[in-house]
Each structure stands twice: as structure tokens, then as C-alpha cells.
Homo-oligomer: A and B are copies of this chain.
Amino acid sequence: MDKYYVDFKEGEIPKYITIAKHIKKLIDGNKLEDGEKLPSIRSLAILLEVNNVTIVNAYKKLQGDGYAFQKMGSGTYAKRKDINKSFKKEYSEVLKKIAGERLKEYIDFTGETPFSNFFPVASFKDVLNEVLDRDGAEALVYQEALGYEGLRKSISEVFWQDRVHSDDILIVSGAQQGIDIISKALINNNDTVVVEKPTYSGALSVFKWRRADILELPIEKDGVDVEKFEKLLKKNKIKCFYTMSYFQNPTGMTYSIEKKEKILRLAEIYDFYIIEDDYLSELIYDESIEYKSFKSLDKNDRVIYIKSFSKIFLPGIRIGYLIAPLKFKESIQNSKVNTDISTSSLMQRALDLYIKEGRWKEYINNLKLVYKERYILMEKYLRKYLGDKVSFISPGGGLHFYLKINNSNEVDSIELFRKAKEKKVLITPGTLFYKVPSDGREYFRIGFSQADENSMEKGVKIIGNILE
């Protein structure tokens, strides 16, 4: 306890601030480990001869400043500042800069959405004007809590063949918002969430923000290991499992139907919910892959289904939808209202018309043709130029490959990112997809959505040279 001793000086600074400062110093100075338990409130109050409430305030301040966290029934713990933060910042600043200056000389393998030249702008403009002529002020004013009814009906009809009722669909502003509002409605402090390892960093951030306990399950060729999952369920009370069932981000892996059924059974037995982020399932190139979402297999109302239209269609429209179990319908709807009231009504109406008029299907079919070609090419280049330097499994769809560097002791993925950037090639290091970033040092992701044939070959060659 000696190290906690603080000498209060006479003056203006409240004692709780002095105490918090002192503990921060201990953490920054490695005198307190990341995750080390702080003294109980009472014992520290006695040591420092202050009221309990002073210690409570000091611990609150530490929590607020990201230097401590609480565990129920167990006290307050020290927290080292996130060491990955600086790299995340570096990465997003590079991307921002390149996007901002539209630096065409870069070969961009970081992209997650289709190439903008393919976007149906003229066609979308048509439907926008059609909507404004048809609905007038309504299109810009009227808001339904669940989202525009026409769009919900189109989704039900076109994507679910009426097997999901339009009143069970909630329109949201993209998948990220879907994850956020589900988390608000479902996840409380210290609730346990299981994620795939690796997983989408935007989901990890939301769960961390909700102060969930996050457990990772390694992903394999056909989804997470079900036996490991059950072991984990036997030991822990799990609230939900976040999964991308098709072309998982970043690994590109797709769940087998068998595995989906097993996990659905586990959900029923161990009473947890599956948050299914249906990511890029439109882009199946390998015809042996069948499309059957967790949601479509779900008999016990265990799946919260999220679909984004921004990922594959127009990133700027910010529209997606949710289907939630009856049990959470109301709380998720409230969560949406408290998050941003509703999603842009005009955009919903335009998208509705776009789907109704069959333009959506046409667009997706064209996109699939183009990207299937690119996918085949990319696979070829990867084998040709990186064959002996990386290992990977071909996903059979989607917009990216996930590669393991065979000799990562020499170049890890962050170094690879930096070196490739020097040579005007951008990749995504695996470190961004893990709860413990260092777990991803051997991996990187290559997306082919933003690069054409020539630049694909050129870019992969450059990466090959760096890994030499």
C-alpha cells in the first residue's frame, strides 16, 4: 500500500484530483500493472485519512480518463492506455489524407466498398426525383418510427419473400448504427459478448464502449470452433455472439450451414442471442456456396439480423435494416429513437423505388460479374507473386483476401503497411481486428474493390518485393 501514499499540499486542488493524479503516475510509470486491482475504497480512505467519497471521486476520475475500470462485486482496476491507439490513428490519418487529396497514384487495397465508378448515380438521381415529384414535402418531413413503410415492405418482399413481416423490420443508418443500437438495447456493463477472432474493429469499438467483457473465438475455414464455443458457454454467461456469416471481415471465411445450425442450438440451450452482420453475402463467386443466413435458419427467435445497403451500394446513403427477436423489438426501437430519431426519409423512399423497379437486382448482378473477374485475377496474382511468402484460403466471394505472412519475424504487418505506403501501396494490417492488437501482427488484408487489373498486379508485386 505504501506506493499509494499521497502528500496533500495546502491549496485549491481538491484532494480527489491529487489522488487520481498520483495513481495515474503509478500506472504511466509502470508501478501499477495493466489490470492490477486498486485498493478498496475504505482501505485507501483510511490510509490517506480522507472520506470514502473522496476515493470514490478519485476512482471516478480515473475511470473517466481511461485509467481504470470497474468489475462488479470486485472493485476497481488499473488500466494502461491503449497501446494500439497510436497506430490506429496513423492508419486512419493515412487513409483520410489519401481520400482527401484523392491521390490517384496510390494503389489502394484497404477499400471495403465497391468502386465508385460502378455506382448507379444517374439511375439513383432518377428515383430521387421521382420520389420528390410523387411525395412532395412528405418525403422530407414525415417520419415513421420503424422507417418508411414502403421500403420495409419492399425489403420483406424482395429479400425475404414475405417470410419476415414488414413491421418486424427496423430501418437504420447503416450496419455500424445497427451494431450500436443493438448494443445499447441489449448489452449492459460487464455483460459478456463473444466475437470472432479476428473481427470487424468497428464492432469491437462499440462493445468496448458499452463496457462489455469481450471473449474471442478463433475463426476457422467454416466458422468458429463449435466445441470451443460450448466450453466457453459452460463457463460463462454469454449475452450475445457477434458474427459475420458470409465473407467474414477480415478473414473472408463463410460459415457452413451445419455450423450455423449447431450454433443456433447452442443459443437456445445456453440462452444467448446471435447478432448476424450479413456482410457482402450478395457477392458469392464460388457456386458451391449456398446463401442461408443464420436468420433464415432460426426457429427460436435467437437472431438479430443486420443488413447494410451502404456497404455494397452507395456508401453515402447510409441505410441498412435490422430484424430483431420479438423480445427486443421495443427496446431496440427505443434505442434507435434515442440515437438519432430516424433515418433520412428521402433516402429511404428513393431506395425503396430503386428496389421496386428492379434496379437493385440489375446493379448487384453487374457488380458480381465485374468483381468475380477481379477476384479470380487477384487470386492469381497472390499465388504468383506472394505464393511462398504468405498463406491464405480463398474465400469464394466478397471483396478481400486475408493473408498470413509466413516469415513475420522479419516483417510484421505494421511494418509491411509502412513500407508499402512508402511505395504507394496501401494494405490493412491485421492488428486492427483483434482485441489484443499484437495477435494480428502476422496477418494483413488485401481488398480488391478499389483497384483495377493493372494496379492489382503492380501492387501485389510491390508487396512481394517487400516480403522478399
Q: Is A465 an interface residue (CB 8 A)?
A: no
Q: Mark A268-306, 1 if CB is under 8 A from B, else 0.
A: 000000000000000000000000000000000000000
Q: Is A41 an interface residue (CB 8 A)?
A: yes
Task: List B contacts of A365 (CB < 8 A).
Answer: none
* In contact, B140 and A176 (Cβ under 8 angstroms): no
* In contact, A72 and B96 (Cβ under 8 angstroms): no
Task: List B contacts of A56 (CB < 8 A).
Answer: 72-74
Closest B-chain residue to A271, C-beta based?
B17
Give residues of chain A (341-386) contacting chain B, Cβ–Cβ below 8 Å.
Answer: 341-347
| A315→B343 CA distance, assembly (Å) | 10
Assuming the contacts A60-B72, A63-B188, asked whether A140 and B173 have C-beta atoms less than 8 A apart, the reply is no
Question: Nearest Cβ distance between residue A59 and chain B, in whole angstroms?
Answer: 6
| A211→B56 CA distance, assembly (Å) | 16
Assuming the contacts A60-B190, A344-B344, asked whether A121 and B132 have C-beta atoms less than 8 A apart, the reply is yes
Task: List B contacts of A73 (CB < 8 A).
Answer: 40-41, 52, 55-56, 59, 76
- Name which of A202-210, A392-400, A436-444 contacts chain B: A202-210
| A61→B136 CA distance, assembly (Å) | 48
| A177→B142 CA distance, assembly (Å) | 18
Task: List B contacts of A244 (CB < 8 A).
Answer: none
Task: List B contacts of A57 (CB < 8 A).
Answer: 237
* In contact, A344 and B347 (Cβ under 8 angstroms): yes
Q: Which of A52, A141, A176, A209 has the most CB of B within 10 A?
A: A141
Q: Is A446 an interface residue (CB 8 A)?
A: no
Q: Which of A190, A316, A317 has the most CB of B within 10 A?
A: A316
Task: List B contacts of A338 (CB < 8 A).
Answer: 176, 180, 202, 205-206, 209
Q: Is A143 an interface residue (CB 8 A)?
A: yes
Q: Is A99 an interface residue (CB 8 A)?
A: yes
| A99→B149 CA distance, assembly (Å) | 13
* In contact, A137 and B125 (Cβ under 8 angstroms): no
* In contact, A211 and B189 (Cβ under 8 angstroms): yes
* In contact, B339 and A180 (Cβ under 8 angstroms): yes
* In contact, A124 and B140 (Cβ under 8 angstroms): yes
| A164→B178 CA distance, assembly (Å) | 33
Give residues of chain A (302-358) contacting chain B, Cβ–Cβ below 8 Å.
Answer: 310, 314-318, 334-335, 337-347
Q: Is A116 an interface residue (CB 8 A)?
A: yes
Q: Is A239 an interface residue (CB 8 A)?
A: yes
* In contact, A141 and B119 (Cβ under 8 angstroms): yes
Residue from the list B41, B143, B174 in contact with A315, Cβ < 8 A: B143
* In contact, B314 and A140 (Cβ under 8 angstroms): yes
Q: Is A409 an interface residue (CB 8 A)?
A: no
Q: Is A100 an interface residue (CB 8 A)?
A: yes
Closest B-chain residue to A40, C-beta based?
B73
Q: Is A36 an interface residue (CB 8 A)?
A: no
Closest B-chain residue to A118, C-beta based?
B137
Residue from the list B70, B132, B340 in contact with A189, Cβ < 8 A: B70
Q: Mark A210-244, 1 if CB is under 8 A from B, else 0.
A: 01000000000000000000000000010100000
Q: List 8 A-B contacts (CB under 8 A).
A: A40-B73, A56-B73, A61-B237, A128-B128, A139-B316, A140-B316, A318-B340, A344-B344
